[in-house]
Amino acid sequence: MTADREVTLKKGATGAAVSALQSKLNQLGYALKVDGAFGDDTERAVKHLQKSFGYDVDGIVGSGTHFLVDQQAGLGWKSPVGAAKLREWSVIMKKGSQGDAVRGLQSKLVSLGYSIAVDGDFGVGTERAVKHLQQSFGYDVDGVVGEGTHFLVDQQVGLGWKGGT
């Protein structure tokens, strides 16, 4: 076991071990700033990696997650999403949400064929579109846009899916 694997790292940690972790996460495609400070972006990258490989998703880098990072870096695995996309996906939206993030979601839903207003207000029409999309792909139909639904929307935009109503 390397010395890096003996140190448990979590949000708020600083130092050379965090910089080493950030560098390895960058090898995996997360495009983090290597500053030695375990902040929000580093935590999101760790959680995404843990989720991607079926680990408990706690954002804490103990010996198991250190091993996962080293193993995947050695195998050349690359995350399909970078730090900016994870930051975007961390915004949870639901009926009543407002702002630029909602406007961006609405634009994507329109590109998928949904007839909704792009006004930055997550109303009934946006909720209906989200629920239809979730149902179409076997997701839990709750009308809430969290990381999974963000991924689904982006994936379908990338594939050119048109199934909106």
Helix (H, G, I), strand (E, B) or coil at 42: helix
Determine the topology of domain 91-159 in CATH.
Answer: Muramoyl-pentapeptide Carboxypeptidase; domain 1 (1.10.101)
CATH of 3-82, one of 3.40.640.10, 1.10.101.10, 3.40.50.720, 1.10.10.10: 1.10.101.10
Tokens 């990258």, residue?
45
What does R_g of the chain's alpha carbons equal in angstroms? Answer: 18
**What was the pLDDT predicted at 148?**
81
Q: Is 80 exposed, middle or buried (0-12, 13-18, 19+ CB in 10 A)?
A: exposed
Please compute the mean of the pLDDT values over residues 152-157 and round it to a whole number: 85
CB atoms within 10 A of CB 146: 15
Say whether 91-159 and 3-82 share the same fold: yes
Position 102 pLDDT exceeds 80: yes
Domain ranges of the chain: 3-82, 91-159
**What was the pLDDT predicted at 1?**
42
**What was the pLDDT predicted at 4?**
58
* CB-based burial, 81-111: b 16+ in 10 Å, e otherwise: bbbebbeebbbebeeebeeebbbbbbebbee
